[in-house]
Amino acid sequence: MLFKKRGTKTKDLGNHPERIAGLVDTSYGRPDEPLPSRVEGLRAWIEAEWQHCDDLLLREVDVHGTRVLLLWIRGMVDQARVEEGVLNPVSTLPKRRTDIGHLESVLHTVHVRRVKTRQELNAAVSDGQVVLCIDGSKEALILDVSQPPGRTIEKAEIEPTILGPQEGFVENLELNIALLRKRIRSPRFKVESMRIGVYSKTNLCILYIEGITKPALVEEAHQRLRKISIDAVNDINKLRELISDAPYTLFPTSEETERPDRVVAGLLQGRIGFMLDGAPTCLKVPTQFIHFLTAAEDYYMHFTLTLFIRVLRHVAYWASLLLPSLYVALLSFNQDLMPTPLLVTVASQHRGIPFPTILEALLMMGAFEVLREAGTRLPRAVGQSVSIVGTLIVGDAAVRAGLVSPGMVIVVAGTGVASFALPAYGFVNSSRIIQFLFVGIAGLAGLVGIVVFGLIIVTHLVSLRSFGVPYMAPIAPFSWQDIKDSFFRAPWFANTKRPGQYETLDSVSNRTPAPRPPNKSHLGEGKR
């Protein structure tokens, strides 16, 4: 069985189809309710439906005796395109019988489609499109001239790199999809759209590559999305919590990125992505523990350099978790494991400190987290300076006042620096919480408590699944082929297959032969 049943208590929605995926919104009326054929009835319904919405504009035009009604939301459309592509062609129509087919053929400067229901009309207006209704027709034209407010493409802020592309996603879904299309120029790159949220009606896209991604994985994604019934989904984190395999774990079971190149790399491995309109990030599943210790820049430098950097990153992660707890355990319970000169030095530093070691560690770690959070919330120009200078000043003042030892300041500062070496921001936040748990256990049970709690953490990691895929793969279960891109990165000519845990339809990703030095006879040398 590919996918295990999630351990969350969810109610059966099979008997309540109206709650699935927000298909029915009572504010919009029944989904199959047709549009009125007369402009008077349609205008009366629109004014009642959109009452107290002063940003909705209604404009009625007489075209050779035929009444035409246009409506759109101010600020959501490109006003220049409305004037040039809609109003001007409609007002300058030649004198003849006007019907919806004639208008559709004339408005060729914009994308045009037809709708028949009130819910479709409301959705189009909310999307920032112009709706054109003609007297006597039960259909309306949707003119795509939307231009929602947003920012242009900028550099990736959360995942910066020195080498490689610098583009990052923005809050415009169409622009984000275009960034991916620019990198995958194939019709096998599928983008399936749906609406999610009863009131928000947010556009959501499921991304995958046909012929690579396992169909069962795509179907699993559809099933989880169909169970969502919530007022609004306007952030990628809300979507992550609604479709997660293990909602109560501290470790993220889905990967979030703002870089198009990382999304493309994941899709080519056989994974799928979720993108929301208004969210500048993409959610990738399945994901493994090893992905959060891999940076985008690892693939833009020589593989020999990547080996050292990845090993260093792994050491930094475990140091950020265990360094304060090991210090507390050695000073509180296991002094006999420390060399005598080091023990004498550390003991002299702690002489006169009024707090036990565990309380000293918790106070310093708490102060460091407060300063780091303050630096994040302050304006970018001063936030980093405040966080660094504040840490130095507070640490030095605490040592001079005799509240903490210099060794504790060094340990806490080293822990903070080690956590900054991790590329995944969400993964760093989870490790910050686990640090405190390890320190508490170390203060109560010493090294024995650290070992026991560490085994509990490892057991929990091995038991996790991400869309049915083991979280600790390729370590548990072990796969030598997939190890080539985990603790180290093998050269590109040696990475010939996609990760086996995704069970892709096409397992071969690279058929390029290994490079060889040129043959002298082939170059014409050696012949006289």
With cut-offs at 50, 70 and 90, classify the pLDDT of residue 479: confident
Of 233-247, 304-318, 341-355, 379-393, the poorest mean pLDDT is in: 379-393
pLDDT tens-digit readout, 191-220: 999 999 988 889 999 999 999 999 999 999
- Pairing state between β 111-115 and 66-73: unpaired
H or E segment at 271?
none
In a domain, 349, yes or no: yes
Task: Determine the pLDDT at residue 383.
Answer: 58
Q: Same domain for 238 and 328?
A: no
Q: What angle do CA 169, 255, 488 make, to 5 degrees?
A: 105
> What is the span of the domain harbouring residue 69?
32-144
In a domain, 515, yes or no: no
d(CA 134, CA 62): 10
Q: What angle do CA 76, 79, 84 make, to 5 degrees?
A: 140
Q: Same domain for 123 and 227?
A: no
Among residues 287, 314, 334, the one where a domain terminates is 287
Q: Same domain for 394 and 367?
A: yes
Q: Same domain for 115 and 57?
A: yes
Secondary structure (DSSP) of 96-107: S---HHHHHHH-
In a domain, 152, yes or no: no
Among residues 416, 445, 469, the one where a domain terminates is 469
Closest CA to 256 of 466, 48, 401: 466
Of 164-173, 239-248, 346-355, 387-396, the poorest mean pLDDT is in: 387-396
With cut-offs at 50, 70 and 90, classify the pLDDT of residue 525: low
**CA–centroid distance for 518 within its chain:** 45
Please name the residue that has the structure tokens 């990153």: 313
Among residues 287, 314, 331, the one where a domain terminates is 287
Task: Determine the pLDDT at residue 382.
Answer: 59
Instruction: Average the pLDDT over 229-234 and give the result.
Output: 91
In a domain, 310, yes or no: yes
d(CA 346, CA 340): 10
**Residues in the chain, overall count:** 528
pLDDT tens-digit readout, 20-52: 333 334 444 345 688 988 999 999 999 999 998
Q: Same domain for 312 and 425?
A: yes
Task: Determine the pLDDT at residue 10.
Answer: 35
Q: Same domain for 318 and 438?
A: yes
Residue 348 pLDDT more than 60? yes
Rounded to the nearest 5 percent, the helix, strand and coil shares of the chain are: 45, 15, 40
Residue 398 pLDDT more than 60? yes
In a domain, 460, yes or no: yes
pLDDT tens-digit readout, 415-452: 888 888 888 888 888 888 999 999 999 999 999 999 99
Q: Which tokens hold the place of 424?
A: 């995944």
Mapping DSSP to helix (H, G, I), strand (E, B) and coil, where does residue 443 land?
helix
pLDDT tens-digit readout, 120-139: 898 889 888 899 999 888 89
Bigger pLDDT: 241 or 22? 241
Task: Determine the pLDDT at residue 373.
Answer: 80
With cut-offs at 50, 70 and 90, classify the pLDDT of residue 277: very high
Mapping DSSP to helix (H, G, I), strand (E, B) and coil, where does residue 368 land?
helix
Task: Determine the pLDDT at residue 521.
Answer: 61
In a domain, 87, yes or no: yes
Task: Determine the pLDDT at residue 126.
Answer: 87
Residue 505 pLDDT more than 70? yes
Q: Same domain for 278 and 388?
A: no
Please name the residue that has the structure tokens 């169409």: 174
Q: Same domain for 348 and 413?
A: yes
Q: What angle do CA 503, 504, 507 make, to 5 degrees?
A: 105
Q: Same domain for 270 and 412?
A: no
H or E segment at 426?
helix 425-463
pLDDT tens-digit readout, 93-124: 776 667 788 888 888 767 888 999 998 898 88
Task: Determine the pLDDT at residue 8.
Answer: 38
Task: Determine the pLDDT at residue 12.
Answer: 36
Residue 399 pLDDT more than 90? no
Residue 285 pLDDT more than 90? yes
Q: Per-residue b/e over 155-170, b at no fewer than 16 CB within 10 Å? A: ebeebebeebeebbbb
Q: What value does the mean pLDDT of the chain take?
A: 85
Which own/partner contact pairs does 155-159 have at CB distance under 8 Å and 24+ positions apart? Answer: 156/258, 156/259, 157/258, 158/258, 158/425, 159/257, 159/258, 159/259, 159/262, 159/295, 159/296, 159/423
Contact between 26 and 37 under an 8 Å Cβ cutoff? The reply is no
CB atoms within 10 A of CB 190: 17
- Angle of the 173-181 helix axis to the 260-269 helix axis, nearest 10: 60
Q: Same domain for 305 and 415?
A: yes
Closest CA to 300 of 162, 184, 180: 162
Q: What angle do CA 162, 258, 161 make, to 5 degrees?
A: 5
In a domain, 12, yes or no: no
Q: Same domain for 50 and 134?
A: yes
> Per the structure, how many domains does the chain have?
3
Q: What angle do CA 424, 425, 428 make, to 5 degrees?
A: 90
Q: Same domain for 378 and 268?
A: no
Of 195-209, 258-272, 385-399, 472-486, the poorest mean pLDDT is in: 385-399
d(CA 153, CA 175): 9
In a domain, 150, yes or no: no
